[in-house]
Structures are given as structure tokens and as C-alpha cells.
């Protein structure tokens, strides 16, 4: 097994509703979808964001889009109007998640 970062195998877009941050994480192909579906867990996501995500993390699979909808509570420092973060609406939360690593087989080829 070897490790790759999500940024090399997925697309992503994140947004906000109040203090809830959501990340749509889209696998570049079916094989990758199976990998992220198994390995991108609420526990791992919460650990990755450390004290930036204070509440629960829920992950919904979207088989039709090969995507995961990741919903993170108390994740924006109080929400767009209250937060001290420069990224008030958490548009870069997807990019931040994309630094996370997952394990892939040794013969795995990163898609273009």
C-alpha cells in the first residue's frame, strides 16, 4: 500500500449554512469513489480539522455522482457573520480537506 492525497484523486467544493460547513468531495472515477467511501470517515475528517471542527461530522454517500457530502457542525468559528477566520464562508475547507491522505494499492495510478 502507498499513500496519496485527496487533492490528487478528487474534486471538491465547500460552502456554508450558519456554522455548518459542507464539503462535496467528488471522486475522479469509480475506483477512487470506493476508496474514499471506505476511508474518508467522520472520525478521520474531524481529526484532520483539529479544533476548527468542534461539532459532529456526518458523511452522506452519493453513488450517482461518485461523491461524498461531508457535513461538519460547529465548523466555521460561529458562522460567516461571527467568525474571526478570513475565509468567512469556508470556501477553502474543501481545499484543506484535500491535504488528507488515503491508502491505495501499490499499482494505483493517479488519474490526470
Cβ atoms of 90 and 16 within 8 Å: the answer is yes
Farthest CA pair distance, the chain: 47
Question: Sheet holding 67-72: strands in order across?
Answer: 10-17, 20-27, 67-72, 57-62
Question: Contact between 96 and other proteins (CB under 8 A)?
Answer: yes
Min CB(52)–other proteins separation in Å: 5
Using CB under 8 A, which residues numbered 35 to 54 contact other proteins? 48-52
Question: Contact between 82 and other proteins (CB under 8 A)?
Answer: yes
Cβ atoms of 6 and 102 within 8 Å: the answer is yes
Which stretch in 11-19, 34-42, 104-112 sits in contact with other proteins by CB under 8 A?
A: 11-19
Min CB(107)–other proteins separation in Å: 26
C-alpha cell of residue 70: 461531508
What is the number of other CB atoms lying within 10 angstroms of the CB of residue 55?
14
Q: What is residue 50's DSSP assignment?
A: G
In the bound state with other proteins, the residue whose beta carbon lies nearer, of 31 and 48, is 48
Compute the distance between CA of residue 30 and CA of residue 51 in angstroms, rounded to an integer.
32
Indicate which single residue of 29, 38, 41, 65 sits in contact with other proteins (rule: CB under 8 A). Answer: 65
| Binding positions for other proteins, rule: CB under 8 A | 11-20, 22, 24-26, 48-52, 58, 60, 62-65, 67, 69, 71, 73-74, 77-82, 84-87, 91-92, 95-97, 99-100
Amino acid at each position: 500500500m502507498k499513500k496519496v492525497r485527496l487533492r490528487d484523486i478528487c474534486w471538491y467544493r465547500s460552502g456554508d449554512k450558519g456554522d455548518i460547513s459542507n464539503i462535496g468531495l467528488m471522486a475522479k472515477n469509480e475506483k477512487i469513489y470506493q476508496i474514499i467511501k471506505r476511508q474518508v470517515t467522520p472520525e478521520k475528517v474531524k481529526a484532520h480539522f483539529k479544533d476548527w471542527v468542534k461539532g459532529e461530522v456526518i458523511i452522506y454517500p452519493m453513488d450517482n455522482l461518485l461523491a461524498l457530502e461531508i457535513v461538519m457542525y460547529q465548523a466555521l468559528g460561529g458562522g460567516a457573520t461571527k467568525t474571526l477566520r478570513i475565509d468567512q464562508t469556508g470556501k477553502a475547507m474543501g481545499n484543506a480537506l484535500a491535504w488528507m491522505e488515503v491508502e491505495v494499492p501499490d499499482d494505483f495510478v493517479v488519474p490526470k
